[in-house]
Amino acid sequence: MSVKEDVIGRSRVEDTDELKEFYSRLENLNAGALWTVANDIEPWEPQPTSVPVLWRYADLRPQVIDSASMVTGDDAGRRVVMLVNPGRKELSAAVGLLYTGLQIMNPGESMTAHRHAASALRFVIEGEGAWTVVNGDRLKVGPNDFAITPRGAWHEHGNDSDRSQVIWQDGLDIPLVNTLDANSFQVHPDQYQTPGKVQNSSLLEYGAGILKPAGADWNRRYSPLLAYPWERTYEALLNQAKVSAGSPYDGIIMEYVNPLTGGSVMPTMGAHMQLLRAGEATRAHRHTGSVVYHVAKGHGHSVINGQRLDWHEHDIFCVPSWAWHEHANDSASNDACLFSFNDFPVMHSLDLYTEAAMEDNDGHQLLS
């Protein structure tokens, strides 16, 4: 039952015995009275059930390592410890309609190929042997590299190191696609793909940055570039810092893009890397759209709806839609980098993206 608000135009109907009897008559007819829920389903402002969460890598890594000896990759399908927002358990979401998890692969291990309507992305945390075959392109990825697995793409993962385990972060739009009743899953008929001879071919073809193949013919809604190396990403941020003051809310921030269009890497999820200069503290803002952050480098803190979260390398945290947030690099001498992925492309394509800056208190939140 809705919270009653004494405002004309909002629901303020009190229950009576007569109305209660009416409501149960409607319920028996699979119907209901709008005014019993109106204030809930038409809130003044977005009311996410997601809460800000910090997942410490120091807490999670031992669990992920344990999982590697407790279940086989073949039995699990993918061996992943997923990060679950207390307000989104029923959707297995980390925040809003975004899923994230930590996947581990033992030395020499490979997973079988599958595909799904949900889109996926990877951010590599540790290990030297990580690879993934996406639509026949074998991608070799290392720490802090970013890779995408667009909707419908066959993919299989593995670790060709003979000694180190691989741990990477998966990000998927599973909760979104399930909410839209649009998910589906297939296992590969041959269990494994036959990759092309040239490794990281999408990077060779589309990764030049200042040039694109003349006449490139690409009509998909996702990027033809599948892997985005860390060295070039970090260099781009350092170069950007030489010529730009950056964003008051995010410091030096750049988006991973489809190099042919400049648009987001996939139609449902976008991704950024941002650099907070030594000692930098940003101002607070909020926007529609949910974000999952991964601390790629350094240490600092973020304040999210008045709650301070202190983060270190490889910690993961989330910012729910419409939550106030600001970030700070707590080192006086080293920069900090935050990788993040989001559902902004969905918000933009549905014309639901909106943003506001905090004006009070010099643009900073008061701690709650």
Q: Provide DSSP, 311-356.
A: E-TT-EEEE-TT--EEEEE--SSS-EEEEEEE-HHHHHHTT---EE
Q: 55 is written with which tokens?
A: 């997942």
How far apart CA 48 and CA 346 sit, in angstroms, is: 16
Per-residue binder mask for ligand GTQ (CB under 6 A), 150-179, x = binder: -----x--------------x-x-------
Tell me which residue has tokens 């983060």: 311
Whats the size of the chain, residue-wise? 368
Q: 235 is written with which tokens?
A: 């260099």
**Site for ligand GTQ contains 80 (CB under 6 A):** yes
User: Least Å distance between CB 90 and ligand GTQ?
Assistant: 17
User: Least Å distance between CB 311 and ligand GTQ?
Assistant: 22
How far apart CA 101 and CA 294 sit, in angstroms, is: 11
Q: Which is nearer to ligand GTQ, 103 or 202 (CB)?
A: 103
Q: Which is nearer to ligand GTQ, 109 or 170 (CB)?
A: 170
User: Least Å distance between CB 73 and ligand GTQ?
Assistant: 11
Sites for ligand GTQ among residues 96-135 (CB under 6 A): 101, 103, 116, 120
User: Least Å distance between CB 293 and ligand GTQ?
Assistant: 17
Q: Which is nearer to ligand GTQ, 183 or 305 (CB)?
A: 183
User: Least Å distance between CB 269 and ligand GTQ?
Assistant: 13
Question: SS3 letters for 212-241?
Answer: CCCCCCCCCCCCCCCEECHHHHHHHHHHHH
**Site for ligand GTQ contains 227 (CB under 6 A):** no
Beta bridge partners of 62: none
Q: Which is nearer to ligand GTQ, 149 or 288 (CB)?
A: 149
Q: Which residue is nearest to ligand GTQ (CB)?
A: 170
Q: Which is nearer to ligand GTQ, 97 or 328 (CB)?
A: 97
How far apart CA 335 and CA 76 sit, in angstroms, is: 38
Which helix (H) or strand (E) covers residue 344, if one does?
helix 344-349
Sites for ligand GTQ among residues 310-329 (CB under 6 A): none
Contact 113, 103 (CB under 8 A): no
Tell me which residue has tokens 């907070």: 276
Pairing mode of beta strands 185-187, 130-134 = unpaired
User: Least Å distance between CB 116 and ligand GTQ?
Assistant: 6
User: Least Å distance between CB 155 and ligand GTQ?
Assistant: 6
Question: SS3 letters for 260-278?
Answer: CCCCECCCCCEEEEEEECC
The footprint of ligand GTQ on this chain (CB under 6 A) covers a number of residues equal to 9
- Contact residues toward ligand GTQ (CB under 6 A) are 78, 80, 101, 103, 116, 120, 155, 170, 172
